[in-house]
Structure 1
Amino acid sequence: MAMTSLATPLIFNGLLKLFTTIQPDVVVSIHPIINFVTIRALKQLGLKIPFITVVTDLISVHFSWFAPGADAYIVPTEQAKQLYLKRKLDPKRVHMLGMPIDPKYTREVATKEELRRKFGLAQDLPVVLLWAVAMGLVACMLRYGLFHRLICQCNYWW
């Protein structure tokens, strides 16, 4: 709840302005921290815009994914669906549709050995995929020598 409480004052007024200006046909959340504040903003404005939460946690699901008030909750696994139902939310609103991943990412494009050669990685060392929201975490790991060599994907989302 701490992250949600922290996020609310930072983005609430921005959401009010955004929803008033753009008036979207639907709002889809793909991050748990914004769910409570988004529902609050839509209610305060009295907008009847459908709000859909797409849960990407597979098994142990953060409670913020299931902020009461969304019109639909899309979950990837039966375990996630059961956690939703434990919260005593409307069972008609939960839909188990699997993980929202483009099928092109599920096809094998090369063998591990070929990929290791392509990226100059040792054949006998483990490979760790680190997916971070921003470079801060990656910089920390490099600074403290947690990895000999690091390949990372970082996304900046505001």
Structure 2
Amino acid sequence: MKLYACIISTDAKKDKAALLSLAQRFSYSIELMADGIVFDVSGLQNLIGDVNKISDTILVELKKSSISGSIAIAETIDAAIFLARDVSTGSSNPKSACHIASPDNFSQLPLQHLLIDEDTQRVFRDLGIKSIRELGQIPHDELITRYGQQFKNVIDVI
């Protein structure tokens, strides 16, 4: 099973070198982002344990490095990023999303975490669509026909 960890930092610019160093302790496949870092943690279950133990181990390293932020681990890069961003809202204390393996958690995320333009977000708000789950329940063809091709791109992400 593929697993990806994402750390969203409250000050990613300042923490860039420390985030990179931390990720390199766990993986060779790393991608820096504007607000954090994502890295492949597949196979760590054999070395560290289940997803909760991996997350806790990364959290300990975050605290040792004095980085404030949040961690999420998921089966896709996008899910890890969205979950870490969701966990990070409202707190500057390092914390971990240990429940992240569940697809249900991903579907409950607010649409504001998707990297979509404000006009599209506004259409969703006007339609009363707040979560990925709610968006998934609407017939995709109807959204694309009514609002245009950019909605196909959003649907492809989820």
TM normalised by structure 2 equals: 0.23
Larger Rg: 1
Q: Which has the higher contact order (CA 8 A, sep 6+)?
A: 2
| Greater per-residue helix proportion | 2
TM-score, structure 1 as length reference? 0.23
